[in-house]
Amino acid sequence: MRLKLPAGCIPNLRFNFFSTERHASTSATEWRRVISEKNASINAFVYTCPPPSTSGSTLDGVSIAVKDNICTENMPTTCSSSMLRDFTSPYEATVVDLLRKTGADIIGKTNCDEFGMGSLNTHSIHGPVVNPYNLYSATETQPRSAGGSSGGSAAAVAAGMCYAALGTDTGGSIRLPALIVVLWGVVSFADSLDCVGVMAATVPDVARIFDPTAATAAIRERAAMSLSQRGFNDHKTLGPSLRIGVPQQYFPSEMSPSIIHPFRRVMSSLVAAGATVIPVSLPSTSHALSAYYVLASAEASSNMARYDGIQYGMHVKPPHGSDATKTANVYAHTRSAGFGSEVKKRILLGTYALTADAFDNYFLQAQRARQLVKDDFNSIFRLPDFYSSAALAGENADGVDVLMHPSAIRTAPPLSSTANSDIDTYVQDVLTVPASLAGLPALSVPCDTAADGEAADGWPIGVSVVGQWGSDLLVLKVGELIERLRS
């Protein structure tokens, strides 16, 4: 698929993913002016709304974009699907409501893969999102993918069209676009995996918007106390006491050399700052990707069942002469027209996995694999899982504080190469789905591109930081440390 850029684009304009020339104090009018100038060539926003009145609250005037599968009362929520093309939610998502109460300017809705199903943001009725990095460079002849499924949110932040953006992550849908950049109110894809996250230009910007609302106050307090005892209150003093695990299974043969060399430089800088790097093994990682696609598709097939054209979603009348007394005939025409190819594919896979003949061999096996992945993580972290009874066992003295690994196996692919690359697209999730299966906090931080002689293609890569359940703030602090060392 080739994407023709619209006429009138400024030929020498370049967007820098690592630019910090955006401020919370930028006026609401200025943000919207930038969107009107840039969005035609990037396709990040699908809807924008007028600026709100000022309130004097914590985030007063801070411009935040919202992925199009997160419900908003005053804007459409289409999930980038024909099925919900005309849908506007009667209620606000919890996360959006919390941001509005703190004065945030919810500037608009961003493009995404249909119902969050995809890794390249090409499965959308609004068209693909174009990666703004080097968009008009003389050496870049083809537009590249912004990643997915939260590609619109990532591109909006990267192109300077908003201060921060909300996305949803099921198996890497925030972390994959981020390297190239409470569930009430989120339209479901896979309920046990879906979560809302923040995308911004710097880790402190993410921390400003972030609030771990999914954890109770008691659990947060227990985790914070353990981290405080380790001296993890300031990212400037993290290095000397930080133990970083590097999982050996996160360097598959498919990984590009242009990913490995910059990752090694990041690790070397952390070692120089006093951190201890420890090789670790997560043996169940090899089962994670298969388990993820079985479980996510099974949950998707169940959640998509509600869109029958009668209770929810668009309605397509059966053709004249068809037997309308059969429910299947009434549903089939609506669902065939309303869902895109990727959603249909996952519904079929998930429905098969839940059939009586396949349930034991696929769905139950995937659930067992998921538990093995969780057990692997629990065995190598120093801190216990504060959400489970395992917390009573205390700390693992030989464990690590965080894990670090490359965020993806390759840089952003050209949009023209994504049309017939389903398997490659799924493999792109191989490094992000384990943390999603285990329900762990994870952060993707941009790092320098590969240098000359390192198979460099000039495109950005990311380093992922993964922490134990409840250690969200530690993950953010480690991300800040990486940024500080990089600058």
Q: Provide the Cα torsion 215, 368, 407, 241; round to 10°.
A: 60
67 assigned to active site: yes
Strand partners, 466: 403, 442
Catalytic residue among 89, 153, 173, 226: 173
- pLDDT number for residue 418: 63
149 assigned to active site: yes
Catalytic residue among 38, 67, 109, 477: 67
If DSSP states are collapsed to H, E and C, what string results for 339-372? CCHHHHHHHHHHHHHCCCCCHHHHHHHHHHHHHH
Peptide bond into 149 cis (omega under 30): yes
If DSSP states are collapsed to H, E and C, what string results for 377-433? HHHHECCCCCCCHHHHHCCCCCCECEEEEECCCCCCCEHHHCCCCHHHHHHCCCCCH
Q: What is the pLDDT along the chain (487 residues), one digit of tens a residue?
A: 223 323 333 222 233 333 434 556 678 899 999 999 999 999 999 999 998 887 778 888 899 999 999 999 999 999 999 999 999 999 999 899 989 988 999 999 999 999 999 989 999 999 999 999 877 665 666 889 998 899 999 999 999 999 999 999 999 888 877 654 433 467 888 899 999 999 999 999 998 888 644 455 666 676 667 666 666 655 556 767 899 999 999 999 888 888 998 999 999 999 999 999 999 999 999 999 999 999 999 999 999 999 998 888 999 988 888 888 888 888 998 999 999 999 999 999 999 999 999 999 999 999 999 999 999 999 999 988 876 655 556 678 899 999 999 999 888 888 877 655 566 677 888 999 999 999 999 999 988 765 555 556 778 889 999 999 888 888 999 999 999 998 7
Select from 368, 373, 412, 371 the least CA-distant residue to 247. 373
- 112 conformational bin, left if phi > 0, alpha if psi -120 to 50, beta if neither: beta
Burial class (CB in 10 A: 0-12, 13-18, 19+), 6: exposed
Strands of 442-447's sheet in order across: 276-280, 243-247, 402-406, 461-467, 442-447
- pLDDT number for residue 277: 96
Catalytic residue among 149, 153, 436, 444: 149
Structure tokens at 294: 């079985």
Confidence (pTM):
0.87
416 assigned to active site: no
| Separation CA 93–CA 98 (nearest Å) | 9
Structure tokens at 436: 């999603």
| Separation CA 463–CA 220 (nearest Å) | 25
- The per-residue b/e assignment along 273-310, b for 16 or more CB within 10 angstroms, e otherwise, is bebebeebebebbebbbebbbbbbbbbbbbbbeebbbe
- pLDDT number for residue 56: 73
- pLDDT number for residue 115: 96
Looking at every residue in the chain, the average pLDDT score rounds to 84
| Separation CA 251–CA 158 (nearest Å) | 27
| Separation CA 77–CA 87 (nearest Å) | 6
What would the pLDDT profile of 241-269 be if each residue is shown by its tens digit?
Answer: 899 999 999 999 888 888 998 999 999 99
CA 393 and chain centroid, separation: 32
What would the pLDDT profile of 273-285 be if each residue is shown by its tens digit?
Answer: 999 999 999 999 9
